[in-house]
């Protein structure tokens, strides 16, 4: 559905993205994840035909974004980083205005603005001035303009930034709702957002793609079986020392842990069974013995270290 190949873009001497390639299949919900300045907005602006790349190509439904811009724009709804809202218009006037620009037949405009207002939950604010809306409602109006004309693909650039937790929840639910029938790319620097809304993730860092995978695979990276956490009923430093010496492993006790410690295996040999047995047999009262789970932030940090490339 979307095919991006070797995109590179410079802003004067600043290289914003380099050799960015990925594909998005019909029906995918893809999280485009990266820290500030990674190149998310730049990539989205190119896919949506907002600006050309210095090299590389982007195709949407088989049409080149710059050779057939109209065919592409017809198929894409875009919520930019700063939604293009006009403060002195009412929501209704604004939606009608966008519908006209999008070339929706005038006799269908009423029906279409009703439809998007309904699905974005903005019916009750349609007569209000955009300037008077809360941030969450402004964002919904932004989403409503993106899905006017019922495009097959919707691209959201940081759709929940600056919203309060309730608004975040509502906007995410709305996106999930849309995902039933559309292909979606959503950029964010918030990992849990990807986990909650997307099925696939593309991680971009300093202009390079560093990972493309299914969410389940990303989550699987959270489990590190080369590190185990042990918790016991009767903790003593002696136990840590015994494990270290007997099994030739590293041990460390994180500051917040007072009844246990972590074991780090440096050889590939699986010593888990023996260690568990040893702790049980020596009477420390084994309570817990499990692989260390990285926080999502740790996974993100691992993915965005310098050396790694996809």
**By the rule CB under 5 A, 41 interacts with Mg ion:** yes
C-beta closer to Mg ion: residue 61 or 161: 161
Cβ count within 10 A of residue 161? 16
Taking the complex as a whole, how short is the minimal distance between the CB of residue 82 and Mg ion, in angstroms? 10
**By the rule CB under 6 A, 189 interacts with ligand ATP:** yes
The one among 4, 7, 16, 109 contacting ligand ATP by CB under 6 A: 16
Query: What are the residue ranges of helices labelled H in 133-283?
Result: 135-147, 165-178, 191-197, 215-220, 237-247, 272-281
C-beta closer to ligand ATP: residue 3 or 81: 81
Instruction: Answer whether 193's CB lies under 8 Å from 30's CB.
Output: no
Candidate ranges 40-48, 147-155, 223-231, 274-282; the one touching Mg ion (CB under 5 A): 40-48
State how far the Cα of 143 lies from the Cα of 2, in Å rounded to an integer: 20
Packing angle of the helix pair 106-119, 135-147 (nearest 10 deg)? 140
Instruction: Answer whether 260's CB lies under 8 Å from 252's CB.
Output: no
State how far the Cα of 80 lies from the Cα of 82, in Å rounded to an integer: 5
State how far the Cα of 28 lies from the Cα of 154, in Å rounded to an integer: 11
Taking the complex as a whole, how short is the minimal distance between the CB of residue 66 and Mg ion, in angstroms? 21
14 binds, among Mg ion, ligand ATP, none (CB under 5 to 8 A by kind): ligand ATP
DSSP state for residue 212 in the 8-state scheme: E
Q: Which residues pair with 293 in a beta bridge?
A: 223
Taking the complex as a whole, how short is the minimal distance between the CB of residue 24 and ligand ATP, in angstroms? 17
C-beta closer to ligand ATP: residue 262 or 304: 304
183 binds, among ligand ATP, Mg ion, none (CB under 5 to 8 A by kind): none
Interaction with ligand ATP in 25-54: which residues (CB under 6 A)? Answer: 34, 36-42
Interaction with ligand ATP in 75-104: which residues (CB under 6 A)? Answer: 81
Residues that bind ligand ATP (CB under 6 A): 11, 14, 16, 34, 36-42, 81, 189
């Amino acid at each position: 559905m979307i095919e991006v190949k070797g995109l590179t873009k410079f802003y004067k001497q600043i290289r914003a993205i380099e050799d960015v390639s990925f594909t998005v299949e019909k029906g995918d919900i893809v999280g485009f994840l990266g820290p500030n300045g990674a190149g998310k907005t730049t990539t989205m602006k190119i896919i949506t035909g907002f600006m050309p790349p210095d090299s590389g190509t982007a195709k949407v439904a088989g049409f080149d974004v710059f050779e057939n811009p109209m065919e592409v724009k017809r198929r894409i709804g875009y919520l930019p980083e700063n939604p293009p809202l006009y403060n002195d218009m009412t929501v209704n006037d604004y939606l009608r205005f966008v519908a006209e620009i999008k070339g929706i037949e005038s006799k269908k405009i009423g029906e279409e603005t009703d439809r998007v207002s309904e699905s974005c939950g903005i019916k009750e604010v349609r007569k209000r001035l955009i300037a008077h809306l809360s941030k969450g409602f402004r964002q919904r109006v932004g989403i409503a303009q993106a899905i006017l004309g019922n495009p097959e693909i919707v691209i959201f650039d940081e759709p929940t930034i600056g919203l309060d937790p309730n608004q975040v929840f509502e906007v995410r639910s709305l996106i999930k709702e849309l995902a039933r029938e559309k292909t979606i790319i959503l950029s964010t620097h918030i990992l849990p957002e990807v986990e909650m809304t997307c099925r696939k993730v593309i991680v971009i860092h300093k202009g390079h793609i560093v990972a493309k995978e299914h969410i389940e695979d990303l989550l699987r990276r959270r489990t590190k079986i080369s590190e185990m956490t042990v918790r016991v009923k009767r903790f003593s430093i002696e136990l840590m020392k015994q494990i270290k010496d007997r099994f030739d492993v590293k041990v460390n006790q994180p500051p917040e842990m007072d009844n246990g410690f972590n074991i780090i295996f440096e050889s590939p040999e699986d010593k888990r069974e023996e260690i568990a047995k040893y702790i049980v047999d020596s009477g420390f009262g084994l309570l817990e013995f499990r692989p260390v789970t990285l926080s999502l932030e740790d996974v993100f940090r691992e993915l965005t270290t310098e050396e790694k490339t996809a």
